[in-house]
Amino acid sequence: MIALSFTEIAEAVGGRLLLGDGDAAPSDVVSGAVETDSREIGPGGVFVARHGETTDGHLFAPSAIERGAALLIVERPLELSVTQIVVDDATVALGLLAAEVVRRVRAAGVLRIVAVTGSNGKTTTKNLLREILSRRAETIAPRESFNNEVGAPLTMLKLTWETEFLVAEMGASGIGEIRRLVGMARPDVGIVLTVGLAHAGEFGGIESTLIAKTEMVADLLPDDTAVLNADDFRVAGMAESTAAKVLWFGRGPQADVRASDVSVDSTGTRFTLHAPGETPRDVHFSVLGEHHVTNALAAAAASLTLGVPLDTIVEALESVTRAERWRMEVLPGLDTVVINDAYNASPDSMAAALKTLAVLAPEAKRTVAVLGEMSELGDLSAEEHDSIGRLVVRLNIGQLIVVGEGAKRIHMAAELEGSWDGESEWYATADEAYDRLESSLRSGDLVLVKSSNSAGLRFLGDRLGELVACKHF
């Protein structure tokens, strides 16, 4: 975090300053990292003691002090020797502090902010933007999927006076959440990727999802740029809800930044990248899955808006070998390959991953789909899991392994479909599925592991990756 005094931080968060023992003074400066996890605290850091989903951060304040915390932001005074700022809501205070840091760094005249949201592809697009923009100047971007009311401000608080680009990933589970994040760091460039069924259960339906995602561009100014997906009719409609300039990306001819001649094989995706006023460039994008072309186009469009040359964009795209840990991550073995894509799953991303598996089928002796639950679908859950089971059959996947009670309808729907040469099996646990796969995998198999994070199949994917790395089948 940029250096701020105790008084400045207290004023920013609207809190009451309680000086610690010793020589502490209101003018003392703090410049260490801000964290909500006491295990991440380092010397001179700020520990924000918030109530999490399962525990109370105040219980870990002593541990934060042992690790060197210089300041605690708390919701009640603690009998500890370190300086504290008492606030009504630590999570709100975290956001207020982030907004103040962004305001000060932006006022220095260098910082540009690009934010991305969408039902699918946020983290991949964020990673691509970081790879592209960091080739030009100091860039701050979230780690993993730090995109909520806690993760987003923690990323913003890593700004320095030298930072020229801030990439903000903005997720939401309800209306108003993206608007709050935009209020902390109003983007110069706002990207909307897709509006789909991911988290539809939490939002209450696709129309509520659309309202929430529109918040990314609703408050942009005329000098800002909304980067919108021309291939998604819901996203395309957001052009009527923003005062910003619109730059379109997509696969169709109507897009400003588009891809043509797209082809997929086991080494990734090849396409020709078109941009206004530029000679088309051929791109070999190593990230597996044709659906990731959309993310590459979004990152390219935003980067062009921020003044990055197209050649730099292409070089950066071609340097990326995976979207993210557990996202279409290829784990090659001695004679069998595992694709671990079990960090997130929605009906759209599940279908895209299965279609990629089917496209790669000619390169494999057999395709195997290991599928778990798609979470947070609410009343749509049964219908969407049924749809995925039918899709497996239509794509003629060779073997279907379904794991967990929440995903059982995928197995049931597949078995009810006729004219399929493959077969489906259901297992209650990942361990049972692993035991079955250990004994049934064949030489040349191509295995996809796909589920929502909560299903835990990413660890099954890792175990299968370790297995195929050392065993001939």
Q: Using an 8 Å Cβ cutoff, are 120 and 309 in contact?
A: no
From CA 257, how far away is CA 251, in angstroms rounded?
8
pTM of the model: 0.86
Instruction: Name the 3-class secondary structure at 463.
Output: helix
CA–CA separation, 91 and 49 (whole Å): 9
Pairing assessment for the beta strands 83-86 and 423-427 based on DSSP bridges: unpaired
Is the pLDDT at 199 greater than 70, yes or no? no
| Tokens 């361990």, residue located | 431
Per-residue pLDDT for 200 more than 70?
Answer: no
Binding-site entries: 118-124
Percentage of the chain with pLDDT > 90?
Answer: 78
For the ranges 12-26, 65-79, 328-342, the one whose mean pLDDT is highest: 65-79
What is the rounded CA–CA span in Å between residue 419 and residue 432? 28
Strand-pairing partners, residue 56, are: 51
**Is the pLDDT assigned to residue 429 strictly greater than 80?**
yes
Check pLDDT > 80 for residue 35: yes
Number of H helices, E strands in the chain: 16, 22
Q: Are the C-beta atoms of 217 and 238 separated by less than 8 Å?
A: yes
Rounded CA gap, 108 and 309, in Å?
25
Check residue 327 and report its DSSP letter: B
How far apart, in whole angstroms, are the C-alpha atoms of residue 3 and residue 320? 34
What mean pLDDT do residues 412-438 have?
A: 91
Phi and psi angles of residue 56, each rounded to the nearest 5 degrees, phi first: -110, 120
Judged against a pLDDT cut of 80, whether residue 145 lies above it is answered with no
Both tokens of 186, joined, read 């109003």
Q: How confident is the model at residue 171 (pLDDT cuts 50, 70, 90)?
A: confident
| d(C-alpha 195, C-alpha 93), whole Å | 30
Over residues 318-361, the pLDDT tens digits come to 999 877 777 788 898 988 999 999 988 889 899 999 999 999 88
* CA-CA-CA-CA torsion sign (198, 201, 207, 213): negative
Residue 254: count other Cβ atoms within 10 Å of its Cβ.
11
Q: Which residue is listed with tokens 């940029």?
A: 2
The pair of three-digit structure tokens given for residue 56, joined into one six-digit string? 């109370």
- At residue 20, does pLDDT exceed 80? yes
Report residue 439's pLDDT band, with 50, 70 and 90 as the boundaries.
very high
Length of the chain: 473
Cα of first residue to Cα of last residue in the chain, in angstroms, is 52
**Spatial distance between the Cα atoms of 258 and 355, rounded to a whole number of angstroms:** 21
Portion of the chain with pLDDT greater than 70, in percent: 98
CA distance 141 to 171: 14
Lowest mean pLDDT among 46-50, 279-283, 289-293, 447-451: 289-293
- Output 274-279 pairs: Cβ under 8 A, ≥24 positions apart: 275/300, 275/301, 275/304, 275/310, 278/310
Give 385-417 pLDDT, tens digit per residue.
999 999 999 999 999 999 999 999 999 999 998
Binding site for ATP, by residue number, is 118-124
Residue 204: its pLDDT value, please?
64
**Domains of the chain: residue spans and CATH:** 4-91 (3.40.1390.10), 108-319 (3.40.1190.10), 329-470 (3.90.190.20)
Q: How far apart are CA 266 and CA 328, in angstroms?
A: 11
Query: Over the chain, what is the mean pLDDT?
Result: 93
Beta bridge partners of 447: 338, 368
Residue with tokens 């250096």: 3
Contact 121, 21 (CB under 8 A): no
State the pLDDT confidence band at 366, using cuts at 50, 70 and 90: very high
Average pLDDT, integer, range 246-263: 96
Residue 53 pLDDT > 80: no
- pLDDT of 107 reads 95
Tokens 């003691």 belong to residue: 49
37: tokens are 């996890």
Phi, psi for 282 (deg, rounded to 5) = -85, 135
